[in-house]
Chain A
Amino acid sequence: EPEVTQTPSHQVTQMGQEVILRCVPISNHLYFYWYRQILGQKVEFLVSFYNNEISEKSEIFDDQFSVERPDGSNFTLKIRSTKLEDSAMYFCASRAGTRGYEQYFGPGTRLTVT
C-alpha cells in the first residue's frame, strides 16, 4: 500500500538554525500539506500546496517558514531560524484530487529546538 514517508524521524537543532524537513507524498497525489502537533496539543494546519504554489496557509506559517517541491517526488518544509516554540511533531500529508478530507499522513518528524 502506498504511503507518505518523512525524513528525518527526529531532528535536534539549536535555536536560530535552519532546518529542512522532507516528505515524499504518495506518487499520484496532487495536494500536499504540512501540519504540526506540539506535545499534548491539537494537530494544527500549517500550509497547503497545489500546482507548485501555496493554496492556503495558517497564521503559524509566517515568514520563517517556506515550502518547496524541488522535484517530482519531494515536498519540503524549511524553517529559517528556529525558535524554542517550533519544537513539535511535523506531519506531511497528501491527497488525491477527489475526496477532499481524505488525507494520508506521514509518520512525522519530531523537531527539538534547544
Chain B
Amino acid sequence: LAKTTQPISMDSYEGQEVNITCSHNNIATNDYITWYQQFPSQGPRFIIQGYKTKVTNEVASLFIPADRKSSTLSLPRVSLSDTAVYYCLVGDISGAGSYQLTFGKGTKLSVIP
C-alpha cells in the first residue's frame, strides 16, 4: 500500500458538508483509493473506493483529481453519528495478493451539535 497523509483531526457542525483530503504522492498506475470509517469499539467499515474523477454512493462521494496524487472524501450534511475515524488507503487491486489492509492513524472527525 502506498503511503498516505491525512489530517489527524477535524471538527464540524451538524448539517455541514465535511471534506477530508488525503495525499498520496507516490500512487501507482494500478492503485485504487479506498476509505474506511471506524466508530469507537467497532470494526472498520468500508465506505467507498475509486480510481479517478468522482465516485458517489449512498454514504459519501470521493473526488480524485486528474493527477491522482490526492483524494477527497466528502460527507454531505453530517450528523452526530458521523463522529468517527476515517482512514484513507491506497493500493493495487489488479494483482493476486492477499490485500491486507494497513491502517494509519486516520482522521478523527468530531461532529458538534
Contacts and interface: CB of A to CB of B under 8 A. Distances in A.
A93 B34 contact: no
B81 interface: no
Interface bracket on A: 20 to 34
Interface string A47-78: 01010000110100000000000000000000
Interface bracket on B: 20 to 34
A95 B34 CA distance: 14
A108 B41 contact: yes
A93 B46 CA distance: 11
B49 A102 contact: yes
Contacts of A45: 100-102
A104 B46 contact: yes
A102 B102 contact: no
Interface in B45-64: 45-46, 49
A107 B93 contact: no
B98 interface: yes
B98 A93 contact: no
B44 A43 contact: yes
Contacts of A58: 100
Interface of B: 32, 34, 38, 41-46, 49, 89, 91, 93, 97-105
